[in-house]
Amino acid sequence: MPTVAFTRALERFLQAPPADVGGATVGEALGLVFASRPALKGYVLDDQGGLRRHVALYVNGKPVRDRARLSDPVAASDRIYVFQALTGG
């Protein structure tokens, strides 16, 4: 099962422990996490279901390619990391 891990910064707002989930794509894996922790969804996805502008998502250290549909494939041993990107100037 893929493991989904969230940045510790999210824990300022809500609990986001790592989760072992099923799914063949990034979107399916995230959907399973959001089913048990629906409050996380609003921090990660926009109204169209794509990644929010200030969220970075990596699979085994490589950025996802499909930020809109989250169709990147994942395998059982993959680790999905969800980060809040920092911006400013």
Q: For residue range 16-56, list pLDDT tens digits in order.
A: 899 999 999 999 999 999 999 999 999 999 999 999 999 99
* Right CATH for 3-84 from 3.10.20.30, 3.40.1440.10, 2.40.50.100, 3.20.20.70: 3.10.20.30
The residue with tokens 């970075």 is: 56
Tokens of 86: 């920092």
> What's this model's pTM, rounded to 2 decimal places?
0.90
**pLDDT, averaged across the chain:** 92
DSSP, collapsed to helix, strand or coil, labels residue 51 as strand
Share above pLDDT 90 across residues of the chain, in percent, rounded to a whole number? 76
Residue 59 CA to residue 38 CA, distance in Å, equals: 21
Domain residue ranges of the chain, discontinuous segments joined by +: 3-84
H helices within the chain, ranges in order? Answer: 26-36, 38-44
DSSP, collapsed to helix, strand or coil, labels residue 41 as helix
Confidence of residue 88 (pLDDT cuts 50, 70, 90): low
User: Residue 44 class from Cβ within 10 Å (0-12 exposed, 13-18 middle, 19+ buried)?
Assistant: buried
